[in-house]
Amino acid sequence: MKLLIIGGVAGGMSAATRARRLDEKADIVVFEKGRHVSFATCGLPYFIGRTIRRRSNLLVRTPERLRSRSNLDVRVLNEVTAIDRERKEATVRDRETNRTYAESYDKLILAPGAKPVIPPLPGVDDPAVHTLQDADDMDRIDDAVEAAPGGRAVIIGGSFIGLEMADNLMNRGLHVALAEMLPYVMAPLDPEMAEPIHRHLREKGVELFLDNAARAIERHSGAPVVVLQDGTALQCDLVVLCVGVRPRTRLALEAGLDIGRTGGIKVDEHLRTSDADIYAVGDAIEVTDYVTGQPTLMAMAGPASRQGRIAADNVCGRRTAFRGVQGTGIVKVFDLSVANTGASEKTLRRLKMPYEKVYVHPASHAGYYPGAADMTIKLLFSTEDGRVLGAQIVAADGVDKRIDVLSTAIQARMTVYDLEEVELAYAPPYGATNDPINVAGFVAANHLRSDMDVIHADQIGDDTIVLDVRTPGEFAGGHIPAAVHIHVDDLRQRLDDVPDGKPLAVICASGYRSYLACRILTQEGFKAANVIGGYSTHRQFHPEPMGGDGTA
């Protein structure tokens, strides 16, 4: 068998090495139009920020190493320009010599990846404007940073890569402004979950322009200037576009392969295209969302690598199926970690899937052990059977462990009742006797069992009677206007002071003390609903204005 693989990064190289392990006799050729294969693309921002100091550390494998260890014919700077399905040939251009040649195949795997979205802005072709996709892009940005010590960078787009770039460019001593067309950064999140990120970015000195897209890139007195929709002009030394990616489908289109409704290459569960001898993997393909069952695009290295392995299995005669994607991701934003998995609330609402949500704010590990950080966890689950549908977490510590547990729960189709019982490792430096995962399960299961009525922070209106059961000091530090204050420890003695005759929204800092208060009140004949996530969550929906120095 002769196998051609087009694309030599995550999906392509995973397919190539897996195919070799399964078939020692196969003739395997990998074409990569860039200079490098197996390049650690996710590490690019961290080299720019000098967290990763040696460029060579990003070269996971060289063509020479792949040839000697896996007997792969890896051809860098060789671009496949066309596929002739009838003749089963690929047309290849050697970019160093400009020579064009044909290469035959029995099976072919497409792994062309995705390309950065370049918005149609006036001036977007200015040499000071960059995207970040490969090592050459990284080197150009690195040179621009070197040439502008203490200067200013403007990032257009608050995506994962945009936030990573903000962190790393500031680590290099640049001033950073970030402009995002949406009212919040990190589009996979729900808006309120981005609010702690906004606060943190501003505290770190990032100039944040939300709901304010770039309108043009101009030159004023020789310097680049990004002009925003509201007329704000941001003079700078370099601009980085981080507004998303689109699947590379030109080869597939010109070869007559089917394209899905999302714009990605259409494949079946075995990652086979509409041509039985051609498979496709990675950022270029349309995949199925594991939670919603809907077609989607997912430009992430993890799924691409697993898809490469599965495609190789099928090419070599093993019938292996790809389950789909759920979009599990995590990003470092200065001192915060931000992660998500599964469906967001806005997706569930759009698809009219029955769901409920809870917010919890537990400590990342035992509170008496130094370094515990408050976590913000949003858990989404089915109202029909309690199945976990999605989660989002923002915190300074403990995020990766919890999002991976919840990602696994989604894969296993576990319920919030399972989360109550899941047994996780505990020692004071790492967790608590009731892990944050258990806590989220307790709150969600209490809700489904109707152990308490609930009201969400975004449902509190001006006519809602709010009972705040925090301490006097907490109440004085900020509260909902017109809230009635009775500390939970005084509640039994002050029942006569509780407003009667109307439903109460009972609130504390995070939802636990208000839950206790609700249990007291409902058994005393009051109609009381617990504000899930408490005042901490209310602040996410109603952020306090920031001062010029970044303080509330």
- List the catalytic residues: 42
SS (H, E, C) 242-269: CCCEEECCHHHHHCCCCECCCCCEECCC
Closest Cα partner for 63 from 49, 74, 78?
A: 74
Q: Where do the H-state alpha helices sit in 117-174?
A: 135-146, 160-171
CB-based burial of residue 124 (10 Å sphere; 0-12 exposed, 13-18 middle, 19+ buried)? middle
Would strands 376-381 and 388-395 be described as parallel, antiparallel, or unpaired? antiparallel
Q: Looking at the DSSP assignment, which residues form a beta bridge with residue 506?
A: 467, 530
Helices (H) and strands (E) in the chain, counts: 15, 31
Locate 234 and state its tokens: 């941001």
Q: In which element (H, E) is residue 311 found?
A: helix 301-315
* Residue count (the chain): 552
In 388-488 the beta strands, taken as DSSP E runs, fall at 388-395, 453-455, 465-468, 484-485
Residues in contact with 303: Cβ distance below 8 Å, sequence separation at least 6, in sequence order: 282, 287, 325
Amino acid at 61: R
Would strands 100-104 and 78-84 be described as parallel, antiparallel, or unpaired? unpaired
Q: Looking at the DSSP assignment, which residues form a beta bridge with residue 331?
A: 338
- Strand ranges of the sheet holding 107-110, from the earlier edge strand across to the other edge: 73-76, 27-32, 2-6, 107-110, 278-280
Residues in contact with 153: Cβ distance below 8 Å, sequence separation at least 6, in sequence order: 145, 165, 169, 174, 175, 176, 177, 236, 237, 238, 239, 240
Largest CA distance in the chain: 90
State the Cα–Cα distance between residues 141 and 488, nearest whole angstrom.
55
Closest Cα partner for 228 from 182, 164, 291, 180?
A: 180
State the Cα–Cα distance between residues 96 and 110, nearest whole angstrom.
22
In the chain, the N- to C-terminal Cα span, in Å, equals 65
Amino acid at 333: V
DSSP 497: G
